[in-house]
Structure 1
Amino acid sequence: MVEATALFRNAAGIDTAISILKQRFGDRLQTGASVREQHGHTTTWIENQSPDAVVFPNSTEEVSDIVKTCAAHKVPVIPFGTGTSLEGHVNAPAGGVCIDLGQMNRVLAVNEGDLDCVVQPGVTREDLNTHLRDKGLFFPIDPGANASLGGMAATRASGTNAVRYGTMKDNVLSLEAVMPDGKIIRTGHRAKKSSAGYDLTRLLIGAEGTLGIITELTLKLHGIPEAITSARCSFPTVDAACQAVMTTIQFGVPVARIELLDAMSVKAANAYSGLKLPETPLLLLEFHGSAAGAAEQAETFGEIAEDFGGTGFVATASTEERSKLWQARHDMYWASLQLRPGARGISTDVCVPISRLAECVTKAQDKAAELDLLAPVVGHVGDGNFHTLVLIDMDDADEVARASQFVGWLNDLAISMDGTCTGEHGIGQGKKPYLVRELGDATRYMAAIKAALDPDNIMNPGKIV
């Protein structure tokens, strides 16, 4: 089981900072045990490490005030969005003050002609797309959970649409952020490109709150496609499904989503979502474009799938049918838990070059079976990213040890294939050892950047480096 590195706790400084902030924020600063535990909540197996207080700012200036106070007393600051991260990002291993950005949830501007918008970090992706729908626009990054956009930027989120629209780093034009000294900076403007200086926008995206707190985002938008066609196809093996994916990408078919469910996941989806799919590896796809273009793309994939033993190919433009399929995909976490009622689901992710995907997934399945672990697989396989959800009894020390062995082995396998230990979950606390294995001496330069910007190590300490 992964444990966080112990950090020095500045008890006197924490007490002083909380006392000062309580005078300024009143009831918007909470120290109750349940609120603190909620904000140390982690959906992985790392123990809950609660902050000493949670404060709810309404503006960038208030975030700056909080950080300045904490910086003056060398108190850790942990940003919090919706708490959907998976690697202990919101834990407070040295205590400190959690800044919950949920009340900073306004869409500040939508520039329809320029296909961009400006939002506060607490806006969720679903709220933004609801706001944009009547304008014929949408924001494409879809990690599954209704995460906050600030958190999605901080963890460099990805998701089901990444194969066509890219990840969070590709869809943020610029940021406003509060830095470790409390200063407010803006990393750019609304121009679609810039060669002006260091790319601080990309430095903060994926920094997991360790270099600054994102307080405003300027995002790229896209027009809602004229037509959307979804498709599904079953395959005899995971290898056959992955080969079909690779060929589809190589043929240049502009697919918007390609999702893999292994046989175990399909079984779970059938039971949980009321589907009647063959319980063999399954690909779910989506195509965007004109009505004729989307239908043609789906037809091309159907022909490719047939070459790899694909059966039961069905394509549909029906909104109801599409929604049912994708809702089942998004419900996979809860569906998988029903495979072993009472078990804890530990989600981990890796990403490899698409040419190694079939081999990596197959080896992961074989290793889980060897260790006698139940570990259904789903993946955003269009870009080589997949997840295993290990279902374990946390009271069984031997099983926990085998699960930990599996997660470590899988990370090392992906790295050995010229891949990464995380395609989208981020490093947080849980994947720190694997980051060093993946990037070696490059992590020394990450640490140097962290030390230069945050010499007192108050910004979400204990994460990444």
Structure 2
Amino acid sequence: MVLRDVRPGVRNEAAVAAVIEALRGALGDKLQTGQAFREQHTHTTTYLTRQLPDAVVFVENSDDVKAVVRACSEHGVPIIPFGTGSSLEGQVNAPSGGISIDFSRMNRILRVSPEDLDVTVEPGVTREQLNVYLRDTGLFFPIDPGANASIGGMTATRASGTNAVRYGTMKDNVLAMTVVTADGGEIATGSRAKKSSAGYDLTRLFVGSEGTLGVFTSITLRLQGIPEKIGGGVCAFPSVKAACDAVIMTIQMGIPVARIELLDEVQIRACNAYSGLSYEEKPTLFLEFHGTDQTVTLQSEQFSMIAEECGGESFRWTADAQERAKLWKARHDAYWAARALRPDLTILATDVCVPISQLADCVAATHADIVENDFLAPIVGHAGDGNFHLSILFNDKDPADVARVEAFVERLNRRALACGGTCTGEHGIGQGKMSFLEEEAGPALGLMRTIKRAVDPKNIFNPGKILRESA
């Protein structure tokens, strides 16, 4: 099984040159071909080999996007959408070269409707930018992957984050979008209505497509009211399994926890050192509850009883905004904290997701695998929805170490699939998990290929991602 399939794709130098010439004439200095620009538009947080685009276009509106798509469609040249570059499975690599479309200048918030709890944004808007803009409305957008990702990138990878256990993932929070398709035209999917039975659900088709079916030009999102009361806390446990058992009981009892995050003892050690914390180095849950004074207090008391039953230590609780901000900043910095454990090593970040009933057994088996094989691989996860992540530190210059790590990743993914889970809960497939998607999807992969060929007959949209080109 090829885990990290980064083979170069087929290139057509004459076609690339023709597209660059056409776009330079149409878009001027919005197009850049310098080495530094091209290097900045490959991956940033994965150990996959860098594969540079031939040029970068800094689009400013949908007309710019259409111009790029039409030129690339005419000559059969790849298009690679680029948000902030925080994807983890090589989604922004360019195995066949082509044109990287940078959306950082398409960062306008087009419309907010507080009465309808929705907003329409351009794809370059970041989640932090959006929530700063919304602050005075009493609303917020709840999806929060660790990075300050763009809304376009989050939509493309079907992102989630620490709030997903209560507010869902991007698939639950994208109402509609506009998309430039392979012929250079623009379509609208969905509407601002809260439900619809009108035709195929094209919005859900594009959410999670990782740039392989079209290019987003606007996205309409569902918003939430800022809770009256927010409380959070920390609870340590004697083992990873005990912590996971507490998560399972919390979810199965219907306690509406907003966040419930698992950090194993290695990740806690990393966070203590990186973020200036002083937690005991044991498997730990970070939690947050949203509601009123009464409901938040009740939920925290209910969890305290569950934690005690599962062997947890005293639940350290706070409603202080600064303390909570410090806690969740440390959680969002978990990746960088893990890197800091051994700056001389490379990190492979990966994730799987399993049914909540299987979480304790799957995480415990993975933890045992790490210990048995003497890996440095902190575990952190959105435990409330069965999604957990590993940051595996290794020497990427040592073929034996690379082989050990890839064998471990293969075992991890097969363990999740055997539990009825998936090879990725939120990182996406990109280049890194195509083999596992083939195993997970089985015959359904053929239908995915049929859709891809129908929507993108020249294979210009992010080729070499999700589906192997050679198959």
Q: Secondary structure at the match of 1:311?
A: coil
Following superposition, the deviation at residue 359 of structure 1 comes to 1.1
Mean Cα displacement is larger for which, 160-169 or 264-273?
264-273
Q: Secondary structure at the match of 1:3?
A: coil
Rounded to whole Å, the distance in 2 between the matches of 1:318 and 1:392 is: 38
Which residue of 2 is the match for residue 81 of structure 1?
Answer: 83
CA contact (8 A) 1:78 1:99 kept: yes
Q: Secondary structure at the match of 2:415?
A: helix
Rounded to whole Å, the distance in 1 between the matches of 2:234 and 2:223 is: 27
Q: How does 1:422-461 map to 2 (within 5 A)?
A: 422-461=424-463
Which residue of 2 is the match for residue 41 of structure 1?
Answer: 43
Rounded to whole Å, the distance in 2 between the matches of 1:95 and 1:440 is: 29
1:366 alignment partner AA: A
Rounded to whole Å, the distance in 2 between the matches of 1:42 and 1:455 is: 30
CA contact (8 A) 2:264 2:380 kept: yes
Which residue of 2 is the match for residue 226 of structure 1?
Answer: 228
Following superposition, the deviation at residue 296 of structure 1 comes to 1.1
Following superposition, the deviation at residue 278 of structure 1 comes to 1.1
1:163 alignment partner AA: V
Following superposition, the deviation at residue 5 of structure 1 comes to 4.0
2:180 alignment partner AA: V
Which residue of 1 is the match for residue 322 of structure 2?
Answer: 320
Q: How does 1:160-171 map to 2 (within 5 A)?
A: 160-171=162-173
State which of 171, 176, 179 in structure 2 corresponds to 1:177. 179
Rounded to whole Å, the distance in 1 between the matches of 2:275 and 2:10 is: 47
Q: Secondary structure at the match of 1:423?
A: coil
1:338-358 Cα offsets, whole Å, 9 max, x none, are 222311121000000111111
Q: How does 1:407-418 map to 2 (within 5 A)?
A: 407-418=409-420
Q: How does 1:49-64 map to 2 (within 5 A)?
A: 49-64=51-66
Following superposition, the deviation at residue 3 of structure 1 comes to 2.8
Rounded to whole Å, the distance in 2 between the matches of 1:179 and 1:130 is: 31
Following superposition, the deviation at residue 336 of structure 1 comes to 1.2
2:227 alignment partner AA: P
Q: How does 1:90-101 map to 2 (within 5 A)?
A: 90-101=92-103
Answer yes or no: is 1:102 the counterpart of 2:104.
yes
Unaligned runs of 5+ in 2: none
Rounded to whole Å, the distance in 2 between the matches of 1:209 and 1:382 is: 28
RMSD: 0.9
1:367-416 Cα offsets, whole Å, 9 max, x none, are 22233211010000000000010011222221111111111111111011
1:222-277 Cα offsets, whole Å, 9 max, x none, are 00000000011010001111111000111110000000000111111111112111
State which of 343, 346, 349 in structure 2 corresponds to 1:344. 346
1:43 alignment partner AA: T
CA contact (8 A) 1:244 1:308 kept: yes
Which residue of 2 is the match for residue 145 of structure 1?
Answer: 147
Q: Secondary structure at the match of 1:312?
A: coil
CA contact (8 A) 1:42 1:91 kept: no
Rounded to whole Å, the distance in 2 between the matches of 1:441 and 1:240 is: 38
CA contact (8 A) 1:106 1:119 kept: yes
Q: How does 1:283-294 map to 2 (within 5 A)?
A: 283-294=285-296
Following superposition, the deviation at residue 166 of structure 1 comes to 0.2
State which of 99, 113, 118 in structure 2 corresponds to 1:111. 113
Q: How does 1:294-309 map to 2 (within 5 A)?
A: 294-309=296-311
Q: Secondary structure at the match of 2:115?
A: helix
Which residue of 2 is the match for residue 421 of structure 1?
Answer: 423
TM-score, with length taken from structure 2: 0.97
CA contact (8 A) 2:43 2:86 kept: no
CA contact (8 A) 2:43 2:88 kept: no
2:68 alignment partner AA: I
Which residue of 1 is the match for residue 131 of structure 2?
Answer: 129
Which residue of 2 is the match for residue 364 of structure 1?
Answer: 366
Rounded to whole Å, the distance in 1 between the matches of 2:466 and 2:43 is: 18
Q: How does 1:247-266 map to 2 (within 5 A)?
A: 247-266=249-268
Rounded to whole Å, the distance in 1 between the matches of 2:398 and 2:186 is: 48
Mean Cα displacement is larger for which, 51-60 or 270-279?
270-279
1:306-336 Cα offsets, whole Å, 9 max, x none, are 0001103111110011111111111111111
1:390 alignment partner AA: I
Rounded to whole Å, the distance in 2 between the matches of 1:464 and 1:42 is: 19
CA contact (8 A) 1:2 1:45 kept: no
CA contact (8 A) 1:42 1:87 kept: no
Unaligned runs of 5+ in 1: none
CA contact (8 A) 2:43 2:91 kept: no
Q: Secondary structure at the match of 1:98?
A: strand
State which of 326, 331, 336 in structure 2 corresponds to 1:329. 331
Q: Secondary structure at the match of 1:378?
A: strand
CA contact (8 A) 1:378 1:387 kept: yes
The alignment of Structure 1 onto Structure 2 pairs a total of residues equal to 465
Rounded to whole Å, the distance in 2 between the matches of 1:79 and 1:244 is: 40
CA contact (8 A) 1:248 1:301 kept: yes
CA contact (8 A) 1:17 1:75 kept: yes
Following superposition, the deviation at residue 139 of structure 1 comes to 0.1
State which of 408, 423, 439 in structure 2 corresponds to 1:406. 408
Following superposition, the deviation at residue 221 of structure 1 comes to 0.4
1:427 alignment partner AA: I
